[in-house]
A and B are shown apart, each in its own frame.
Chain A
Amino acid sequence: DAGVIQSPRHEVTEMGQEVTLRCKPISGHNSLFWYRQTMMRGLELLIYFNNNVPIDDSGMPEDRFSAKMPNASFSTLKIQPSEPRDSAVYFCASSFATGAGYNEQFFGPGTRLTVL
């Protein structure tokens, strides 16, 4: 069975450019999460969706960040314009959740973003 798929695996871009990260969750999962990992802040939740609806985007750092989930099998995280401080590893995770929060999340391999 395919796990969570993320693309690209690596992205190097210049400050000011638009960056789009993509995620395909595990088939049948109804919750999708975007996390960011940095040395300074560790792993932090940016936003999560349940049944394609954004539920909590309080972790999105600022308006430069946006996320969409147009259908159950695809999500994007966009940064426009990108800044060097956005450099991090971005993880997508999915789970089958009823809202109770007890199911484990399965993580994708991550996208390593470098903004020069």
Chain B
Amino acid sequence: AQKVTQAQTEISVVEKEDVTLDCVYETRDTTYYLFWYKQPPSGELVFLIRRNSFDEQNEISGRYSWNFQKSTSSFNFTITASQVVDSAVYFCALSIYNQGGKLIFGQGTELSVKP
């Protein structure tokens, strides 16, 4: 069975702090895809990043970076110099190759960035 675990339910930081959101996944499949989505207070789900299981290179996009480690089945997300606008619920998700693209979501981590 496939599963995504985001052990951190809530995180609170002060603006300009760095913060890392953890994501651990479970699957026996060798080809899969990992995603992060952001859900701001307005409620919509915003796509942030996709990685495939054969690409373990870390990725940086502005203040966002992602660390993918197959050895630990983790796909962690770091926000550098956090800002109040980063306050949201962040979801990690897993999609298995040839299963039509359906996403298996973690429970989400609610990030609160205080000024």
Question: Which residue of B44, B99, B101 contacts A95 across the interface (Cβ within 8 Å)?
Answer: B101
In the bound complex, CA of A89 to CA of B44 (Å): 10
Question: Which residue of A35, A48, A99 contacts B98 across the interface (Cβ within 8 Å)?
Answer: A99
| Given A48-B100, A56-B102, A101 contacting B44 (CB threshold 8 A) | no
Residue of A nearest to B52 (CB): A102
Residue of A nearest to B99 (CB): A101
Q: How many A-B residue pairs have CB under 8 A?
A: 73
Interface residues of B in 40-93 (CB under 8 A from A): 43-47, 50, 52, 91
Chain B positions within 8 Å of A109 at CB level: 43-44
Distance (whole angstroms) from the CB of B52 to the closest CB of chain A: 6
| Contact, CB under 8 Å: B47 / A55 | no
Q: Mark A73-114, 1 if CB is under 8 A from B, else 0.
A: 000000000000000010101010101111111111110100
Q: Which residues of A contact B (CB under 8 A)?
A: 31, 33, 35, 42-45, 48, 50, 55-56, 89, 91, 93, 95, 97, 99-110, 112
Question: Which residue of B43, B45, B100 contacts A31 across the interface (Cβ within 8 Å)?
Answer: B100
Residue count of chain B within 8 Å CB distance of chain A: 26
Question: Which residue of A43, A50, A112 contacts B91 across the interface (Cβ within 8 Å)?
Answer: A43
Q: Which residues of B contact A (CB under 8 A)?
A: 32-33, 35, 37, 43-47, 50, 52, 91, 95-108
Distance (whole angstroms) from the CB of A68 to the closest CB of chain B: 18
Question: Which residue of B45, B46, B47, B105 contacts A42 across the interface (Cβ within 8 Å)?
Answer: B105
| Contact, CB under 8 Å: A101 / B45 | no
| Given A42-B105, A43-B91, A43-B105, A104 contacting B100 (CB threshold 8 A) | no
In the bound complex, CA of A11 to CA of B101 (Å): 29
| Given A43-B91, A45-B103, A95-B101, A101 contacting B108 (CB threshold 8 A) | no
In the bound complex, CA of A97 to CA of B95 (Å): 12
| Contact, CB under 8 Å: A45 / B102 | yes
| Contact, CB under 8 Å: A102 / B50 | yes
